[in-house]
Amino acid sequence: MGIADNLDQVKQSIQQAAQEADRNADEIELVAVSKVHVAKTIRPALQAGHRVFGENRVQEAQGKWPALKDEFSEVSLHLIGGLQTNKVKEAVALFDVIETVDRPKLARALAKEMEKQGKQVGVYLQINTGEEEQKGGCLPGDADEFIKLCCDELKLPVLGLMCIPPAEEEPSVHFAFLRKLAQRYGLKKLSMGMSGDYETAIRFGATSVRVGTAIFGERAPH
Ligand SMILES: *Cc1c(COP(=O)(O)O)cnc(C)c1O
């Protein structure tokens, strides 16, 4: 099957999952995760009319997206991988949404850079719900303070919360936790769910799912 077919299939599954959860599918955004894939692989998705994409490395995205953004209008590019403060300038310039804001130093650097560039980039605050050492994300115990810092003090354009549950655990506990945390602060959006669990995430209130493999196929290992 081609990429446009895969995309259709995923959209249908989203529709179905939304229906089963008594939700409107229009409120669920599909971020097509194109990391590792070359422009030639991504183009069919753009030609099929898809416009929201996710990349996990600033440098890799810089290599392929400026040209694709010239070619196709109204692309919304999401950064879904960890961001180092020395790449904040490039990230603010290239991305439309940054989903991985997870520590005060980064949040402050982003606020400053957005002001400097006069460009507001919507952000998600990433929560490390599984408290995994190797993973990015603010620890649940620090989340209250961090959310207040980003929303109230820095006044970042916070869209909502994002998480990546531990691979070997039942994800629904993590999805439910994230939803509860977002509700406590009146944050509307939840970025959660990948190829293996996006239907579950939709049941738990995901407003944005990040799907790579189910659209573009398996990624070659780095
Ligand atoms: C790679 C990645 C995805 C997509 O994962 P698939 O299993 O290929 O759908 C989603 N979210 C993040 C943060 C990722 O790094």
pTM over 0.95: yes
Q: What angle do CA 83, 86, 87 make, to 5 degrees?
A: 50
H-helix segments, 118-212: 140-148, 172-184, 198-203
DSSP of 96-136, one letter per residue?
A: SEEEEE-SHHHHHHHHHHHHHHT---EEEEEB-TT--TTS-
CA 210–ligand 1 middle distance (angstroms):
6
| Number of residues assigned to the chain | 222
Instruction: Render pLDDT for 61-80 as a digit per residue (tens, 0 to 9).
Output: 999 999 999 999 999 999 99
Query: How far is residue 182's CA from residue 202's CA, in Å, rounded to a whole number?
Result: 15
| DSSP 8-state code for residue 89 | H
- 3-state class of 92 per DSSP? helix
State in Å, rounded, how far the first CA of the chain is from the last one: 24
Which residues' Cβ are closer than 6 Å to ligand 1? 33, 35, 56, 80-81, 164, 194-196, 210-214
| DSSP 8-state code for residue 49 | T
Which atom of ligand 1 lies at the shortest distance from residue 33's CA? 4
Please tell me the predicted confidence (pLDDT) of residue 5.
97
Please tell me the predicted confidence (pLDDT) of residue 220.
79
CA 4–ligand 1 middle distance (angstroms):
19
Instruction: Render pLDDT for 100-130 as a digit per residue (tens, 0 to 9).
Output: 999 999 999 999 999 999 999 999 999 999 9
- What is each CA distance from 193 to 105, 164, 172, 204, 210, in whole angstroms? 27, 8, 10, 10, 6
CA 5–ligand 1 middle distance (angstroms):
19
Q: What is the mean pLDDT of the chain?
A: 97
163 in Cβ contact with 178 (< 8 Å): yes
Instruction: Render pLDDT for 3-62 as a digit per residue (tens, 0 to 9).
Output: 999 999 999 999 999 999 999 999 999 999 999 999 999 999 999 999 999 999 999 999
Instruction: Render pLDDT for 139-174 as a digit per residue (tens, 0 to 9).
Output: 999 999 999 999 999 999 999 999 999 999 999 999
Phi, psi of 189 (to 5 degrees): -110, 145
Please tell me the predicted confidence (pLDDT) of residue 222.
57
- 3-state class of 159 per DSSP? strand
Which atom of ligand 1 lies at the shortest distance from residue 164's CA? 13
